[in-house]
Structure 1
């Protein structure tokens, strides 16, 4: 999942980015409202963590702009203002939740998880493809009841493939979804991750072509046998 952190305090932004990355989210950081608006129009985010006091375009106006343009993703506002009126203004602008600085990081992460669970992509915590099971809440992966030990990027890649099903994912599309804007890899890096992921899947009994290469286009999961039986 991808989160946009909008915070002009560099120290707080770095702390949030590190904590969220450790929780296996893909994180982009914007330091003003205009930059955040450009990011939101360019990439698909699952949640925005939004400071109110921002240069160029403040958090209230940015949130209103997102809602006016029918962006439905959850918005969690952060602010140093702790009055009922300030909270009402933030919520009326379209925020889904509101936390006052200084905040407890564990509570913030719990609220982020709660907001993401409300979204359509998180409504089903378990993803599956044949014998493969992914628990999106605990990040545990099993194949035919055997645990699969993955790096954070391998997990993110496999989760993306499973959630996409038979839709072909291009290398640039994969990079956009699971790497942050300030750390984009080469397409060869994606190829290397796919190779390692295939090896790990094969070690627990998955077919060699569990992840298919669609030459010239990208990657997708192999069609399930039950789907073939249905089609015939």
Structure 2
């Protein structure tokens, strides 16, 4: 999943980027509202984390501008303004949730996970698709009750496909949402990850959880139970 952080405090920006990246997210960042609005408008994010007290363009203006552009991915507000009026203004501008500084990184991550799940129609962190179960909080996958050993890239690829089960996801979309900008888009790495996932999820070839549609992309086929 690809996140955008718009935060003008250098240390906090750096800390959040490092923490979320270590948790398996691809993270871009900006240090002022104008740069943040540009990135938020130009790239396909799964969620944005926006501080309210930004230079050049405050967070409320950024959020309003994004919603006016009909950009609908979830927005989590960070604010040092611990009063209900500012929270209400942020939510009414189009944000989905908020955190008051200072906060624990674990709470931030839990809220990020919850917002992404809800944006794709999943209320619970544990997603069941027949014999396949994903715990999106623990980032663990089980098949018939047995835990799979997946690399972070394999897990991230599977999680994105599962969040969009039944839809055809192109190689370009996977690359944009899951991998850093220096990722070689012309490589066959995505195909390799998909091949590994098929073997680990379906060693007997009976489930066929992931279909390749030539020239279009990939589709996770199992139905949520």
- What TM-score range do you get, normalising by the shorter chain? 0.7 to 0.9
Matches of 1:211 and 1:116, distance apart in 2: 22
**Unaligned segments of structure 1, at least 5 residues:** 225-232
| Matching of residues 30-179 of structure 1 within 5 Å | 30-82=30-82, 86-116=86-116, 118-179=118-179
Question: Paired residue for 1:218?
Answer: 217
Equivalent pair of 2:64/2:94 in contact (CA under 8 Å): yes
- Return the structure number with greater helix share: 1
Query: Does the residue aligned with 2:189 lie in a helix, a strand or coil?
Result: helix
TM-score of the aligned structures, taking structure 2 as reference length: 0.78
Over 3 Å counting, the alpha-carbon distance change for 1:165 and 1:18 in structure 2 is: same
TM-score of the aligned structures, taking structure 1 as reference length: 0.76
Shift of 1:63: 1.4
> Which structure has the larger Rg?
1
Matches of 1:108 and 1:161, distance apart in 2: 24
**Unaligned segments of structure 2, at least 5 residues:** none
Shift of 1:51: 1.4
Query: Does the residue aligned with 1:200 lie in a helix, a strand or coil?
Result: helix
Equivalent pair of 2:44/2:176 in contact (CA under 8 Å): no
Q: Over aligned residue pairs, what C-alpha RMSD do you find? A: 3.1
Matches of 2:107 and 2:219, distance apart in 1: 37
Structure with greater contact order relative to length (CA < 8 Å, sep ≥ 6): 2
